[in-house]
Structure 1
Amino acid sequence: MGSIRTLIVDDEPLARRGLQLHLQRHADIEIVGEAGSGRQALQAIAELRPQLMFLDVQMPGMDGFALFRALPATQIPLTVFVTAFDQYALAAFAASALDYLLKPVDDRRLDEAVERARVRLAAHKAEDHYERLLKLIATLPDVNRAQLDALMLDEDARTGGKLSIRDGQRLLRIELDAIRWIDAAGDYMCIHTDGETHVLRGTMQDLERRLDPRRFARVHRSSIVNLERVKALRPHHNGECFLSLDSGHELKLSRSYRDKVTLINGRLVAAA
């Protein structure tokens, strides 16, 4: 395995510098960038495509958890939390991260985290990492989410202007025009809208069946995109493409789904 593209995210410059110095002992760690805020990290992840991220949980503005909610699941790197939280607070997300480090960072624990990243990347087991992170997002107190026992309603959203899902005893009606994209890992889905992320349990097949295929297209086994929100298509050398959304996010258009969409007059539409 070659070098591991790594991003450091922390609002404290000294903390970023200290972690960078610690990581220099690992020849296969290639630090491709740093970010001092969640917003900067969002842009850096889209541009740099890191495989591994050391992430400070507590940051002003967009914190580490808000960053997860704003990212397409397939863009989330393997993540090591770096935090000053005590052990009890860590219990809420320790099982969801690749690893976590307490500040001040201990070299032995850092070495363990790097080795876990090596093993995970060598085994190509990123998908289960996404699923654990989606489960983590579902437990966060400030997420507009459907509970784990929630089911999507049977009504069809193909002919209406809203998608209905049930959140416990509440009925949520989501404007279809506001949906940017939907991604999933395992039994969990994130519906990303202009202002919120709704996390619920269900399958992509069920949700795809309820959406108008002329407006929403499956572009990856774990992603559905609102075609109206796609502004550009960027080819990649390996035969895949990336879709640029009006929000600035990018989604992968995998080779196996390329025949489901086509570019007409600069606009992405569902293939006939």
Structure 2
Amino acid sequence: MSHHIPRALIAEDEPILAAALAHALQRLWPELDIVATCPNGVEALRQGLALQPDILFLDIKMPGKTGLEAAEELAEQWPDGVPFPHIVFVTAYDEYALAAFEHAAADYVLKPVNDARLGKTVERLQQRLRDSSNATTTASPAASTTTAPLATTETTASASDDNLARLLSQLQAMLPPAPRLQMIRAAVGNSVRMIALADVVYFEALDKYINVVCQDSEALIRTSLKELLPQLDPQQFWQIHRGTIVNASAIATAVRDEAGKLSLTLRQHPAQLRVSPLYAHLFRQM
């Protein structure tokens, strides 16, 4: 039986850079099969789910969806039992990315792509793929014995989810802090309702609006969760899903169903809120 040919997807909105990365990878790793080149994050999500490659090269800054958002949504929608791809973020900034990648699941390459740096990434990826195939089939020994400096090898979906969640929160933390909100101003009919943050049970994304859910009422505000989140106290308001932020003090229990999916029950509200695998680490036992 032949060994599995590694498959990669590249997401990069600048065609010249996408081509340069593909050519460099072909030089440094001739047996790598580049199954798709996507011009944006939306396409990366669609093709990633359809093709289920072993490796994703994601440009951090892309129109429509950033590489981080694409990674987050892929992790949420990834089919159970299929190993999650190894991620390499492609970034034009040095300082912004480097600290976050030190202990994370993902690697990074800087633009413009440089063979020496990409060569190290290729070695690391080859080692990770060998490690994960050894974990599943211990019968086949690793083809090569060269080792790359690598802190952790993820062999389970939960380990890579944890690492990806940590990476996303590290990158979030590096963005400049937004001023904290004290009150929510929501239009109700032709008046403006002032809602104290302590009264909010959870925020739910609805198209171009957010539904602000309180114990006995709801109101719409015209913004996105991405814009709202940095203005909230992270100790008090937790993102638990791409479309949901919950007031931590409103949570009664976190329940896991037979399929291992987590959902929350609330103290004074009948809603049950689903927790994405990326945020499940928030509800581990203390």
Which runs of structure 2 are paired with 1:43-192 in the superposition (5 Å)?
A: 43-73=46-76, 75=78, 76-124=84-132, 125-127=154-156, 128-139=159-170, 140=172, 172-173=201-202, 191-192=240-241
Question: Does the 8 Å CA contact 1:38/1:61 hold for their aligned counterparts?
Answer: yes
Offset from partner CA, 1:184-213 (integer Å, 9 cap, x none): xxxxx97335xx255999xxxx6225xxxx
Offset from partner CA, 1:78-100 (integer Å, 9 cap, x none): 11111111235421344324321
Q: State the TM-score, normalizing by the size of structure 2.
A: 0.52
Give the AA of the match of 1:110: L
2:39 equivalent to 1:36 = yes
Q: Determine helix, strand or coil for the equivalent of 1:61.
A: coil
CA RMSD, 1 decimal: 3.6
Where do 5+ consecutive residues of structure 1 fail to align? 144-167, 179-188, 210-216, 226-250, 252-272
Where do 5+ consecutive residues of structure 2 fail to align? 79-83, 133-153, 176-196, 205-210, 212-237, 264-276, 278-286
Offset from partner CA, 1:102-129 (integer Å, 9 cap, x none): 1111112212111211211222224333
Question: Does the 8 Å CA contact 1:55/1:81 hold for their aligned counterparts?
Answer: yes
User: Counting helix residues as a fraction of each chain, which structure ranks higher?
Assistant: 2
User: Counting strand residues as a fraction of each chain, which structure ranks higher?
Assistant: 1
Give the AA of the match of 1:130: D
Which runs of structure 2 are paired with 1:12-27 in the superposition (5 Å)?
A: 12-25=14-27, 26-27=29-30
Give the greater-gyration-radius structure (CA): 2
Match of 1:186 in 2: none
Tell which deviates more after alignment, 29-38 or 123-132: 123-132
Provide the rounded CA distance (Å) in 2 between the counterparts of 1:192 and 1:39. Answer: 18
Question: Kindly, what percent of the aligned residue pairs are identical?
Answer: 35
User: Alignment partner for residue 255 of structure 2, among 187, 191, 208?
Assistant: 208
